[in-house]
Structure 1
Amino acid sequence: MKKLIIFDLDGTLLDTSEGIMHCYRKTGEILNLKENTIENKKCVIGGPLKDGFQRLYKIDSESQLENAIATYRSIYQSEGINMFCTYQGIEELLRNLKENGYLLAVATLKAESYAKQMLESAGLSEYFDVIHGWDGTDSCTKAYIITKVIFTLNLISSEAILVGDSEYDAYGADAADVDFLGVSYGFGIKKDEIKSQLSPIADSPEDVLDYIINARLKL
């Protein structure tokens, strides 16, 4: 039986696309980076900044990549962190899950301090038993953060499920040996694109609740 519902942040709880893409664009302009041809630029949201810059821009060297990441973080700290909104229905979802006795947590590749600040500003932090994010090291992966959440709450992987919107979330859940529920209202996962690879997929926060509470997910 599942006891813990772990949520990704970007594209799952909060629509942070405006702030993230603003910081990518501004970094590119400041450093005069050449863009790669990519149709869905928002696919970088929720993933490591290194992957994001390599997907969006022609990066010639490791030093240029490091400079881009440092510039992005500086811009995000002063500008991007305030550019977000909560998806409609999220607070109701969290409230219902808590009322039904679930432990709730956040596992995000965003800096942990930023995640806590944003969830506090959104009025959602009170619902979470644990909020863990990027710890500042290159070895901090999604799987590591998920595992850290489970360890903090003294549970095992079979008692948890990750709710997320991207391939990074799906791969992280698999690596951490945790069940995964994708959401199509976020940035990365589109139901028609990954139907054969990932199942199930929730189209709204209401669907997430339905999958979990009514056992449509076969928890």
Structure 2
Amino acid sequence: MKLTRPHTVLWDMDGTLIDQTSGIINCYRKVIRSLGQPEPDDQSIRRSLGGPMADTMALFVAKNQLDDACRAFRHYFPEVMYEGLVILPGALELIEYFHGTGTPQAIFTNKHGDTARQVSHHCDFDRFITTCIGNTDTPWAKPDPRLTRHVLSRLNASTKGACLIGDSPTDVATATAAGIPCYTVATGAHSEVELMDAGASAAFDNLLSLKNAFA
């Protein structure tokens, strides 16, 4: 499959550019266990990721524990956030490719905004992508199209010629709501088949394959 090079690229972060699930899962398990709830298996947590942290946490703790659980997660996560973090194959290559062609790029994620920017700096993404918007930076979260429009406005761009690169049905829903294509990679918790079934414009095994499609 060959794809037309987009005018603007919006990146998801977790499962797309990086694999940070080891630290994320360990933090969820620590918080859930501390509140006396049954400890979920890794795959249950992995499959629940993609939305705001509170949405995932609500699946595993009682309603009256949710605020405390979210505060505990934000407290513990900085201690483990780089634990097992991996930059996914092709991430820097594709970012540099778009940078070299003058294509505006932004990262937008349901990860906490300050955390997302720390990770972006740690991984050297911010050398090429200066706009990184996360949860709590705005009143919105994915898949709300107001968030997508806000990020595009930060780039002085429109939906015309824009695309979203992500790894989850949440990313597909985000792109669909904004009226832009979503090119997906099966480097998160979902297969290429699942991503296409969710409505992705295209699905690839990793970012290197996606880069080849733009060549």
1:174 to partner: Cα distance: 1.6
Indicate whether 1:6 and 2:10 are aligned: yes
Match of 1:161 among 153, 163, 172: 163
Aligned counterpart, 2:196? 195
Q: What are structure 1's unaligned runs of at least 5 residues?
A: 215-219
| TM-score, normalisation: structure 1 | 0.85
Work out whether residues 89 and 208 of structure 2, in 8 Å CA contact, stay in contact via their aligned partners in 1: no
User: Percent of aligned positions with the same letter in both sequences?
Assistant: 25
| TM-score, normalisation: structure 2 | 0.87
1:38 to partner: Cα distance: 8.8
Matched residue of 1:2: which SS? coil
Give, in whole Å, the separation in 1 of the partners of 2:206 and 2:91.
9
Matched residue of 2:197: which SS? coil
Work out whether residues 17 and 45 of structure 1, in 8 Å CA contact, stay in contact via their aligned partners in 2: no
Aligned counterpart, 2:141? 141
Say if 1:49 and 1:101 are closer, same or farther in 2 by CA, change over 3 A.
same
Work out whether residues 97 and 209 of structure 1, in 8 Å CA contact, stay in contact via their aligned partners in 2: no
- Describe the superposition over 1:33-87 as per-residue Cα deviations: whole angstroms up to 9, x where unpaired: 13568954311222212221233x2x332x311111111111113x132221211
Work out whether residues 152 and 158 of structure 2, in 8 Å CA contact, stay in contact via their aligned partners in 1: yes
Q: What are structure 2's unaligned runs of at least 5 residues?
A: none
Amino acid at match of 2:76: I
Give, in whole Å, the separation in 2 of the partners of 1:104 and 1:60.
39
Aligned counterpart, 2:81? 81
Where does 1:57-206 land on structure 2 (aligned, <5 Å)? 57=60, 59-61=61-63, 63-77=64-78, 79-83=79-83, 84-135=85-136, 139-142=139-142, 143=144, 144-187=146-189, 189-198=190-199, 199-206=201-208
State the superposition RMSD in angstroms: 2.1
